[in-house]
Amino acid sequence: MRPTTALLLALVLGLGTASSTNRARAYCRMTTSTTAPSLAQPCVTDGLPLEWRRRCFEYSVDVGGSPDMDRPTLEGIITASFDAWLNVRCGGVAPGFEVRETPDASVCREAEYRGSGGNVNTIAFLDDWAAYDYDPAAFAVTTVWHVTATGEILDVDMQLNQTLGPYGVCPAAGCPGADTGTAEMADLQNIVTHEIGHVFGIGHSEMPGAAMYAVSRRGETDKRILRTDDTDAFCAIYPPGSLPSECAFPPIGGLRLDCPASSGGGRCAVSHAERSGSLPAWALLLGTSLLIGRRKRRRTRPSR
Ligand SMILES: [Zn+2]
């Protein structure tokens, strides 16, 4: 069934802050606001908060995978990253999400949402990051498509910056050089766990050490582990009993593993024409958050 809600199109950048404040501030939520978070105002509170209103969804990993690891390793890291969130208990009870990977890979490196027809929550590595209007220092961008009138999340696409690779698996305590951000590789689970927080509609945290802290040192593993601030955010958005009991994994409109910009045309041209022609009311608000990478950053002396 096609929703009749009219949506608006906008771009929200969740800019990572490098604030050195030690003030403990609660998590932020992503919202429908078109106001971009800033250093002075990291939490945008106007607009409606974003949230899933279904408890089951599925994602696909782009067929290109990552050049840094084989596909089973990559898929295992993504699964472990989701599990960090899915294992959260709120008052001893899980909110009830079920998330699975589609059996087939997506053929989609773009953050896109079709108002009509199928979609895919894709996870893709981009080796042409400079071709996108993204911060070159960002490890990843997660785009959260939602209904502006309600904040309901419809679709999420995670794009990882391959030019800041290689990505890999660091020891639990981090890769050598992680304390200075000079490690040879970036820990993929560290980054994906953070991005999945955005998948669930959570914004950035000002708390260094939190998985949702906006800045990551190269080679760190801190964000693999959710902190209280992270789980507080998750449980506040999805208290037990808040999600419907029904479970349907495919996106509204069905699963479609390709996307127009990366599929080379063909039948994909139809959805473009359809959206711009007969569905002018279908515009979407796009929320984007960045996990900023500080590569080769000079060591900062501890404050005295
Ligand atoms: Zn982020």
Question: So what's the pLDDT on residue 42?
Answer: 67
Annotated domain spans of the chain: 56-259+279-294
Instruction: Give the architecture-level CATH label for domain 56-259+279-294.
Output: 3-Layer(aba) Sandwich (3.40)
Of the two residues 35 and 152, the one the predictor is more confident about is 152
Instruction: Tell me the three state secondary structure of residue 278.
Output: coil
Q: Is the pLDDT of residue 79 over 90?
A: yes
Which has the minimum average pLDDT: 105-114, 156-165, 190-199, 281-290? 281-290
Helix (H), strand (E), coil (C) string for 216-242:
EECCCCHHHCCCHHHHHHHHHHCCCCC
Work out the pLDDT band at 91, boundaries 50, 70, 90.
very high
Work out the pLDDT band at 85, boundaries 50, 70, 90.
very high
Q: Which residues contact 107 (CB under 8 A, 6 or more apart)?
A: 62, 63, 257, 258, 259, 262, 263
Q: Is the pLDDT of residue 163 over 90?
A: yes
> Does the pTM exceed 0.85?
no
How far, in Å, from the CA of 266 to the mean position of ligand 1?
34
Task: Report how far residue 50's alpha carbon sits from residue 251's, in angstroms, rounded to the nearest whole number.
Answer: 17
- Mean pLDDT over residues 231-251, rounded? 97
Amino acid at 36: A
How far, in Å, from the CA of 75 to the mean position of ligand 1?
21
How far, in Å, from the CA of 212 to the mean position of ligand 1?
6
